[in-house]
Amino acid sequence: MPTDADGRRFLRHTLATLAYRGGKTLRGAPPGFIDARAGDTSRTAGELLGHICDLMDWALVYATEGRHEWHDRAVRSWGEGTERFFEALARLDACLASDTPLGLPAEELFQGPVADALTHVGQVALLRRLAGSPVRGENYLRAEIAAGRVGPEQSAPRREFE
């Protein structure tokens, strides 16, 4: 399977973007937000967060072993889910930063679990707005995002909207 360095660099930057945007969306959630949902048949914010983490776990198994292994793991608290989010990103980023051959092309990791996770971070952001605790928008093009920065410590926003 390919180990295209350019694909890995792009994917690592994408994970850093996910950490930045996801972190901004997860921080400061109001009490009880874990149970917020848009409608009766939609996922709660906690279920979305758990799913994002499951996606990153799935991506890591695919990246390291080239096989499908999925586990649904419930989030017991918002803090636990947030911690798991950053830990899962760190494990996947470390894999991509290594010389370990990937079990599938980087492009497929992007088009599947990583793109799906970006979608779900957007859904959590929408739920924040519906819960009366909107995430402040910003010019993300100006954000200080760097490959490898996938933990909870992120740079301060450079250009948020009023």
**Looking at residue 1, what is its pLDDT?**
39
The token pair at 55 is 């996606």
Secondary-structure class of domain 5-142 per CATH? mainly alpha
Helix, strand, or coil (residue 63)? helix
Rounded alpha-carbon distances, angstroms, from residue 140 to 18, 29, 49, 68, 137: 11, 20, 21, 33, 8
The stretches in the chain having pLDDT less than 50 are: 1-3
Distance, CA of 92 to CA of 68 (rounded, Å): 15
pTM tops 0.75, yes or no: yes
Rounded alpha-carbon distances, angstroms, from residue 95 to 3, 5, 43, 100, 143: 11, 12, 30, 7, 25
**Looking at residue 3, what is its pLDDT?**
44
**Looking at residue 161, what is its pLDDT?**
84
Q: What is the pLDDT of residues 123-160, one digit of tens each?
A: 999 999 999 999 999 999 999 999 999 999 999 998 88
